[in-house]
């Protein structure tokens, strides 16, 4: 299949647009879970801790399944994996409307649906996008990743409205239909696994008549480019990325679940807490869109180190500034750094280790993120119960960001980044 789009528009940007739409709906529905908690708990008599445990298990299952989905991405291609994933996630979302007890919800949401979500997560999407870009790789990934925040801003109020005027069961059913009717056709019609599927090289260069062999369009050359994912663990950058992303998960998800309770316990009204969290979500989008173009010009690792450092500053401001100043300062500073780490980490992984095993390696790195996040949620709750406040867990979260920042700054990006070498005949 040849590229039928206008020569003025590189088809890779259509891939980014489709990926953005997938993360808008997928991420938005995930963000909407909180609005289902109260009506579902009221109907079944579930405690807040009980329904939260299903969420924590879901995050852990999502993390553990990332590596497997990454392996499937490398094996069968991103297009097939994502299309099948969208179909199954849509069906699972519809089935949530039939929830009749906690065990059903735990298995379907906490295990089955959360595992399936790994196939359409930003990690899987990032690897697909990475194959289409080299020069503007981080920019493209940033746009795709921003869909999660945009989805939260759109679908949380949408889901809330549907629950109020209809009920939670019909809302789950409608959200599932949205996935099947809007997202699935978009992915099927637009997504392609890599540029060679339509006769292009990354960044839109035409293959022309230069490719006479069947062994590949280009070769990736670099000190750490791997043909086996296991080899990546013999080098320092992999461990630096893993440790940094573990802290990233710990410090974002602990706040995602405990920010509003913390604010209310500090004497702020629920509406003020919700507004601050809404501002944090807006800053998510702004932050992730800003880092892409900058990273493509100046590199990724220093910017990643600054992102973690800024988030640490956000924690300090939250804990030590008086009154509402700390709350709003964290929403701005912490929010801007919230998901900015996603495209930077994904780009570093693919740039250093190449694209051949990018799915598996990116999945493993994101698994570290989710394990850190699951631990952070539980740790925040336990320390709150033991100490009577969130000061200790939030302080520890801020301190761990120093480790993540140092780990990122010390990655030797220029030394290890791969480069593409175009070949006419590999034989």
2-13 pLDDT tens trace: 444 445 788 999
Residues pairing with 419 in the sheet = 221
Three-class SS string for the chain? CCCCCCCCCCHHHHHHHHHHHHHHHHHHHHHCHHHHHHHHHHHHCCCHHHHHHHHHHHHHHHHHHHHHHHHHHHHHCHHHHHHHHHHHHHHHHHHHHHCCCHHHHHHHHHHHHHHHHHHHCHHHHHHHHHCCCCCCHHHHHHHHHHHHHHHHHHHHHHHHHHHHHCCHHHHHHHHHHHHHHHHHHHHHHHCCCCHHHHCECHHHCECCCCCCCCCCCEEEECCCCCCCHHHHHHCHHHHHHHHHHHHHHHHHHHHHHHHHHHHHHCCCCHHHHHHHHHHHHHHHHHHHHHHHHHHHHHCCHHHHHHHHHHHHHHHHHHHHCCHHHHHHHHHHHHHHCCCCHHHHHHHHHHHHHCCCCHHHHHHHHHHHHHHHHHHHHHHHHHHHHHHCCCHHHHHHHHHHHHHHHHHHHCCCHHHHCCEEEECCCCC
Between CA 274 and CA 285 the distance in angstroms is: 17
Which residues, in sequence order, are bridge partners of residue 200?
206
Q: Quick check: do 11-204 and 220-422 share a fold?
A: yes
Q: What angle do CA 50, 55, 61 make, to 5 degrees?
A: 125
CA angle centred on 404, ends 401 and 409, rounded to 5°: 125
How far apart CA 367 and CA 350 sit, in angstroms, is 16
Q: Which two tokens stand for residue 240?
A: 């630096």
Residue 324 in contact with residue 268, Cβ under 8 Å?
A: yes
- Per-residue pLDDT band at 403 (split at 50, 70, 90): very high
Domain residues of the chain, as ranges? 11-204, 220-422
Confidence band for 420, pLDDT divided at 50, 70 and 90: low
The torsion angles phi and psi of 424, rounded to 5 degrees, stand at -90, -35
**Residues 348 and 301: beta-carbon distance below 8 Å:** yes
Q: What integer pLDDT is reported at residue 264 of this predicted model?
A: 82
Separation between Cα atoms, residue 196 and residue 198, nearest integer Å: 5
The span from the CA of 3 to the CA of 261, in Å, is 51
Q: 39 or 8: whose pLDDT is higher? A: 39
**Average pLDDT of span 118-122:** 87
Query: Each residue of 253-299: pLDDT tens digit?
Result: 888 778 878 888 888 887 787 788 888 888 988 988 898 889 888 88
Q: Confidence class of residue 211 from pLDDT cuts 50, 70 and 90?
A: very low
Condensed to tens digits (0 to 9), the pLDDT of residues 157-204 reads 888 888 889 989 999 999 999 999 999 999 999 999 888 888 888 877
Q: Encode pLDDT of 324-367 as tens digits.
A: 899 999 999 998 998 889 889 988 998 899 888 888 898 899 88
Name the average pLDDT for the chain. Answer: 85
The CATH number that domain 220-422 falls under is 1.20.1250.20
Compute the Cα dihedral for 66, 68, 71, 76 and give only its sign: negative
- Look up the CATH superfamily of 11-204: MFS general substrate transporter like domains (1.20.1250.20)
- Identify which has the larger pLDDT, 310 or 261: 310
43-61 mean pLDDT: 80
Whole-number pLDDT of residue 207: 58
The token duo for 83 is 């299309």
Q: What is the per-residue pLDDT for 174?
A: 95
Tell me what pLDDT residue 1 has: 47
Structure confidence at residue 105 as a pLDDT band (50, 70, 90): very high
Report whether 300 contacts 240 (CB < 8 A).
Answer: no
Output 99 or 264, whichever has higher pLDDT: 99
Residue 111 has pLDDT above 70, yes or no: yes
**Residue of 408, 409, 376, 405 whose CA lies nearest to 393:** 376
Please give the C-alpha separations between residue 243 and each of 203, 226, 408, 416, 424, in angstroms, as whole numbers.
Answer: 31, 20, 9, 18, 40
Residues 88, 116: contact at Cβ < 8 Å?
yes
Tell me the range of 20-29, 126-135, 181-190 where mean pLDDT is highest.
181-190
Residue 208 has what pLDDT? 55
At 73, list the tokens. Answer: 């991405």
């Amino acid at each position: 299949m040849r590229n039928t789009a206008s020569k003025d528009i590189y088809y890779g940007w259509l891939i980014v647009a489709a990926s953005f739409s997938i993360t808008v709906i997928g991420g938005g529905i995930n963000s909407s879970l909180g609005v289902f908690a109260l009506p579902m708990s009221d109907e079944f008599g579930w405690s807040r801790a009980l329904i939260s445990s299903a969420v924590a298990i879901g995050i852990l299952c999502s993390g553990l399944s990332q590596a497997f989905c990454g392996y499937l991405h490398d094996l069968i291609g991103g297009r097939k994996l994502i299309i099948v994933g969208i179909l199954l996630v849509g069906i699972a979302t519809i089935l949530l409307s039939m929830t009749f007890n906690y065990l059903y919800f735990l298995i379907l949401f906490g295990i089955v649906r959360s595992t399936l979500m790994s196939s359409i997560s930003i990690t899987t999407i990032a690897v697909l996008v990475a194959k289409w870009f080299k020069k503007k790789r981080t920019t493209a990934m940033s746009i795709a990743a921003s869909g999660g925040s945009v989805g939260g801003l759109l679908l949380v109020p949408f889901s809330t409205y549907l629950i109020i005027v209809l009920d939670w069961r019909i809302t789950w059913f409608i959200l599932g239909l949205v996935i099947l009717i809007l997202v699935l056709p978009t992915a099927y019609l637009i997504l392609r696994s890599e540029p060679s599927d339509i006769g292009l090289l990354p960044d839109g260069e035409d293959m022309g008549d230069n490719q006479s062999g069947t062994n590949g369009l280009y070769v990736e050359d670099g000190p750490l480019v791997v043909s086996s994912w296991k080899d990546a663990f013999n080098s320092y950058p992999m461990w630096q990325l893993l440790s940094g992303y573990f802290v990233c998960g710990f410090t974002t998800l602990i706040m995602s679940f405990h920010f509003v309770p913390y604010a209310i316990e500090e004497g702020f009204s629920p509406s003020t807490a919700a507004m601050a969290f809404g501002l944090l979500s807006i800053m998510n989008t702004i932050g992730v869109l800003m880092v892409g173009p900058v990273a493509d010009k100046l590199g990724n690792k220093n910017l990643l180190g600054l992102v973690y450092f800024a988030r640490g500053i956000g924690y300090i401001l939250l804990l030590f500034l008086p009154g509402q100043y700390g709350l709003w300062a964290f929403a701005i500073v912490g929010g801007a750094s919230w998901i900015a780490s996603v495209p930077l980490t994904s780009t570093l992984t693919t740039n250093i280790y190449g694209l051949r095993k990018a799915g598996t390696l990116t999945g493993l790195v994101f698994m570290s993120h989710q394990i850190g996040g699951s631990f952070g949620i539980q740790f925040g709750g336990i320390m709150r119960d033991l100490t009577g406040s969130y000061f200790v867990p939030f302080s520890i979260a801020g301190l761990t960001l120093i480790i993540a920042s140092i780990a990122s700054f010390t990655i030797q990006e220029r030394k290890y980044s791969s480069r593409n070498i175009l070949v006419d005949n590999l034989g």
